[in-house]
Amino acid sequence: MPLGERTGDKSESRYCGVEIDFSDDMPRVLDFNLYSAGFDFVLAPLMDPSYRPSLVQKDSFGSGALPFAGSDLVLSPSQWSSHVVGKISSWIDLDSEDETIRIDSETTLKQEIAWASHLSLQACLLPTPKGTSCANYARCVNQILQGLNNMQLWLRIPLVKPDDDSMDAKAVTSGDSWETWNSFRLLCEHNSQLSVALDIMSTLPSANSIGRWFGESVRAAIVNTDCFLTNSRGNPSLCKRHQRLITGFFNHSIQIIISGKSVHPKASLDANASQDSIVADSQRHPLRPYLDYVGHLYQRMDPLPEQERFELGYRDFLQSPLQPLMDNLEAQTYETFEKDAVKYIQYQRAVSKALLDRVSDEEATAKAVVLMVVGAGRGPLVRASLQAAEETGRKLRVYAVEKNPNAVVTLHALIKLEGWEDTVTIVSSDMRHWNAPEKADVLVSELLGSFGDNELSPECLDGAQRFLKEDGISIPSSYTSFLQPVTASKLYNDVKAHKDLVHFETAYVVKIHNVARLAPCQSVFSFTHPKKSDKESNQRYKKLQFIIPNDTGSAMVHGFAGYFDATLYKDVHLGIEPSTATPNMFSWFAIFFPLRTPICVNPGSTLEVHFWRCCGSTKVWYEWCVASPSPSPIHNSNGRSYWVGL
């Protein structure tokens, strides 16, 4: 297998297929394309392309047996399933003005899908819609999808370059193939078994236009041999833009399929080669040099970093956010967060700077800083603070405040093990209800959520602020949430699968991977600690206006990705907002706010979004909606579906 595997990579993109013509000798097809040439699967027509149902009575097909590519017995069930992707007859046109063609097309489509299901194929490729209207085609496919078991249907869509790269909202977008896909999938109600196979052409649209597809359900990229250039040795190669595109497909588990005739007949033939090797080369698969080149691109990719390998299983997996006040975290959750060395290095840096500002060198031996870790968990911030004190030569008196009685047991064992009894006092209490024996110089917490304030850091630190000195330092000192609109077809379909309102009005923590970010992030809510006034509310409201770049083309907004950036102290920051994210930190994934009905946006248009942070006596919740280009319902009104308990 020329592509093979990268370390930690088990994705489908390591398999490469080849598109072939119709053959009724499938064993020979597999032998030539897989076992001899090294391809992993074939994209093969299932039915003789000359077949038309309306002609059955007039020709040799009148026997009653349809002209399929051999009996199901010619291959084993595992061979059909693993090595064949069915290719539905490309002539079909279900929206043809000619009634005979239309009826023949519908009959043939259903016959071929039924045969593919009988063979237990994993996927079938549907031909590209022929005209501007595809309503009847989509209707027939939607009917089929209702009764389909596990098979995927891939709609073939050309990645065409729009007529005008500087498209604006008034531009004609008929050259934008995304419009065809969007129309088709809307007619099929975003069915999760309907995906895309992109036809890659020799010219490519803008980077923003291509970027949209990484948020769509693209399963394969069909690369025509016409895309390939010729290198100095006469072998096929790709230009830099195509190379980056193919690498992007690899990273998003999109399989490559080589298609077309060889346009490099002399590839790999050495002028000084022996006659025997020339004969052997002449018997090689004509598309093998293209497979070798794709394998070369795959193998030269950088191996996945350790953090990415750790996060592979979490990619695009929706998780409910933590409820740190209502629920006591489990040992496994603590252990995961404690492995994030980068986070605690940043905290140690912040505490070190605070200690140096709090105590001069002259006072270092005499004056002790009172430091309170509120929400101490199993002690990583206690350890980071004590290491900061050792690093700066400052004396500390530490209070470790923790409400989870199970974590308190671990804290006591840690203090005893490390010999910190004279330095650290453990307080088993909710920070909001504890009466501190003295006021703190420094208050340290790690109450931040993926959206900054979504784990109730503002409410917790407001409650703890009363035992911070007037000139005391809070670490973190401030944090801001950020939001951006995204195309996220998989996330939307996963939420939709629950078939209820509640899941569409819930925010999820998710390692976002297969998404298209449609506009730069914008800041939403900011909080500063200590709070200047007790009368300042933690309720917030923000109106945001995102402009879709002109060269993106139209796009679908499935929801919003949320992030945060925090200032721990002075210039020490921590965050996951993509443009400023702290490298190699994995404690936080993004948060995802879905839309009940995805919204289509045009190039150059403005997406107006409204976000609220609402506070009640027992809960805090978010509400959100889109106002333009088309209004959405206000999601999660009064916290009816999703809230964080106080």
Identify whether 158 is preceded by a cis peptide bond (ω within 30 of 0).
no
- DSSP for 343-377 reads HHHHHHHHHHHHHHHHS-GGGTTTPEEEEEEES-T
Using DSSP bridges, classify how beta strands 395-402 and 368-374 pair: parallel, antiparallel or unpaired: parallel
* Other Cβ atoms closer than 10 A to 76: 11
Catalytic position from the list 112, 446, 505, 577: 446
Establish whether 446 is a catalytic residue.
yes
Cβ-based neighbour number of residue 233 at 10 Å: 11
Q: What is the DSSP letter of 46?
A: S
Is 431 annotated as a binding-site member? yes
Distance CA 553, CA 542 (A): 27
Q: Is 508 annotated as a binding residue?
A: no
Helix (H) or strand (E) holding 220: strand 218-224
CB 599 within 8 A of CB 631: no
Residue 344 assigned to a binding site? yes
Strand, helix or coil at 486?
strand
Tell me the DSSP string of 273-331. Answer: --HHHHHHHHTS-TTHHHHHHHHHHHHTSPPPPHHHHHHGGGBT--BPPP-TTTSPPPH
Asked whether the beta carbons of 582 and 588 are under 8 A apart, the reply is no
Taking CA atoms, 69 is separated from 24, 39, 48, 75, 349, in Å, by 4, 20, 7, 11, 68
Is 430 assigned a ligand-binding role in the annotation? yes
Instruction: Tell how many helices (H) and how many strands (E) occur in the chain.
Output: 17, 26
3 state DSSP class of 16: strand
> What tokens does 587 get?
């404690």
List helix spans (H) across 51-122.
Answer: 77-83, 99-118
- 455, 459, 505, 623: the active-site residue: 455
For residue 343, say whether it is annotated as part of any ligand binding site.
yes
Residues that are catalytic: 446, 455
**Annotated binding site for S-adenosyl-L-methionine: which residue ranges?**
334, 343-344, 402, 430-431
**Annotated binding site: which residue ranges?**
334, 343-344, 402, 430-431
